[in-house]
Amino acid sequence: MNEFNENMIEINIPATEPDRQYFFIEKCADLVHEKELKLGRKLSACIKTFGCQMNSRDSEKLTGILKEIGYEITEKEEADFVLYNTCTVRENANFKVYGRLGYLQGIKKDNPHMLIGICGCMMQEPDEVKKIKKSYRFVDVVFGTHNIFKLAEIVYGRLTSGKMYVEIQEGTADIVEDIPSTRKYPFKSGVNIMYGCNNFCSYCIVPYVRGREKSRNPQDILAEIRQLASDGVVEIMLLGQNVNSYGTNLETPVSFSRLLQMIEEIEGIQRIRFMTSHPKDLSDELIEVMKNSRKICRHLHLPLQSGSTNILSRMNRRYTKEDYLNLAGKIKDAMPEISLTTDIIVGFPGETEQDFAETLDVVGKIGYDAAFTFIYSKRTGTPAAAMEEQVPENEVKERFDRLLKLVQGGSARLNSRFTGHVVDVLIEEINEQNPELVTGRMSNNSVVHIKGGADLIGKILPVRLDCSKGFYYLGSLVSE
Name the binding residues for [4Fe-4S] cluster.
52, 87, 121, 197, 201, 204
**Among 168, 173, 158, CA closest to 3:** 158
**Among 478, 370, 383, CA closest to 423:** 478
**Among 59, 57, 120, 52, CA closest to 86:** 120
Judged by beta carbon, residue 298 or residue 379, the one nearer ligand 5AD is 379
Q: Which does 242 bind (CB under 5 to 8 A by kind): ligand SF4, ligand 5AD, none?
A: ligand SF4
**Rounded alpha-carbon distances, angstroms, from residue 428 to 5, 48, 460:** 44, 21, 9
Judged by beta carbon, residue 89 or residue 263, the one nearer ligand 5AD is 89
Q: Which of residues 249-288 bind ligand SF4 (CB under 6 A)?
A: 278
Judged by beta carbon, residue 370 or residue 456, the one nearer ligand SF4 is 370
Select from 49-57, 170-178, 194-202, 395-403 the region that touches ligand SF4 (CB under 6 A): 194-202
Position among 120, 303, 410, 458 found at the interface with ligand 5AD (CB under 6 A): 303
Judged by beta carbon, residue 90 or residue 298, the one nearer ligand SF4 is 90
Which residues line the annotated binding site? 52, 87, 121, 197, 201, 204
Q: Which residue is nearest to ligand 5AD (CB)?
A: 343
Q: Is residue 372 a contact point for ligand SF4 (CB under 6 A)? A: no
Q: Are 439 and 429 in contact (CB under 8 A)?
A: yes
Q: Which of residues 215-254 bind ligand SF4 (CB under 6 A)?
A: 241-242
Position among 150, 216, 298, 379 found at the interface with ligand 5AD (CB under 6 A): 379
Q: Which of residues 305-324 bind ligand 5AD (CB under 6 A)?
A: 305
The rounded Cα 244 to chain-centroid distance in angstroms is 16
Q: Is residue 199 a contact point for ligand 5AD (CB under 6 A)? A: no
**Rounded alpha-carbon distances, angstroms, from residue 351 to 34, 59, 294:** 59, 36, 42
- Coil, helix or strand at residue 374: strand
- Coil, helix or strand at residue 273: strand
Select from 149-157, 247-255, 371-379, 460-468 the region that touches ligand 5AD (CB under 6 A): 371-379
Interacting residues of 436 by C-beta distance below 8 A, sequence separation 6+ = 451
DSSP-assigned letter for residue 53: H
Residue 278: CB minimum distance to ligand 5AD, A: 10
Residue 210: CB minimum distance to ligand SF4, A: 7
Distance in angstroms between the alpha carbons of the first and the last residue of the chain: 63
Interacting residues of 16 by C-beta distance below 8 A, sequence separation 6+ = none
Position among 197, 328, 338, 344 found at the interface with ligand SF4 (CB under 6 A): 197
Beta bridge partners of 474: 449, 467
Position among 18, 207, 350, 383 found at the interface with ligand SF4 (CB under 6 A): 207
Position among 200, 409, 454, 470 found at the interface with ligand SF4 (CB under 6 A): 200
Q: Which does 379 bind (CB under 5 to 8 A by kind): ligand 5AD, ligand SF4, none?
A: ligand 5AD
Q: Are 289 and 260 in contact (CB under 8 A)?
A: yes
Q: Is residue 379 a contact point for ligand SF4 (CB under 6 A)? A: no
- Strands (DSSP E) contained in 291-436 are 299-301, 339-346, 370-375, 422-430
Q: Is residue 340 a contact point for ligand 5AD (CB under 6 A)? A: no
Whole-number Å distance between alpha carbons of 222 and 228: 10
DSSP-assigned letter for residue 48: E
The rounded Cα 318 to chain-centroid distance in angstroms is 24
Say what angle helices 256-264 and 284-292 make with each other, to 10 degrees. 10
**Among 276, 283, 332, 272, CA closest to 304:** 276
Position among 62, 206, 243, 312 found at the interface with ligand SF4 (CB under 6 A): 206
Q: How many residues would you count in the chain?
A: 480
Q: Is residue 374 a contact point for ligand 5AD (CB under 6 A)? A: yes
Judged by beta carbon, residue 28 or residue 204, the one nearer ligand SF4 is 204
Q: Which of residues 59-118 bind ligand 5AD (CB under 6 A)?
A: 89-90
Would you tell me which residues interact with ligand 5AD (CB under 6 A)? 89-90, 203-204, 303, 305, 343, 345, 374, 376-377, 379
Would you tell me which residues interact with ligand SF4 (CB under 6 A)? 197, 199-201, 204, 206-207, 241-242, 278
